[in-house]
Amino acid sequence: MIDHISIPVRDLNTSASFYGRVLAPLGLERLVERDHTVGFGKKYPEFWINLRQDMIATPKGTGNHVCLRASSLDAVNAL
C-alpha cells in the first residue's frame, strides 16, 4: 500500500499554486510548507512537491503516471 508520493518541481511557488487548485476538488489541502517542500493531504501530507531547481526536464514517453481518485467527474471538472 502506498502511503504518500513525492514529485520534484523546478518552481516551488508556481507548482504549489497549481497543485493547490488541482487537488482542492479532491479534498486535499496544503498542510505543510517548508523552504523546499510543500505537502498536501486530508489528515496528513499524502502528496508532496519538492524543489529541485537544477532538475533536467523528463523526456516524453518515460512511462511515469500518477492518477488520483476523485469522488466524481463533477469534482474533476470543477477546475
pLDDT digits 0-9 by tens, 46-57? 999 999 988 888
C-beta separation of 4 from 16 below 8 A = no
Count CA atoms within 13 Å of residue 69 on its CB side.
Answer: 2
pLDDT band at 17 (very low <50, low <70, confident <90, very high): very high
The cell for 74 is 463533477
Distance of alpha carbon 4 from alpha carbon 41, whole angstroms: 9
- The CATH number linked to 63 is 3.10.180.10
Domain count, the chain: 1
pLDDT classification of 36: cutoffs 50, 70, 90: very high
- pTM > 0.85: no
3-state secondary structure of 29: strand
**Continuous segment of H or E residues that includes residue 50:** strand 45-51
Q: Which domain range does residue 36 map to?
A: 5-52+59-77
Instruction: Give the Cβ contact number of residue 72 at 10 Å.
Output: 9
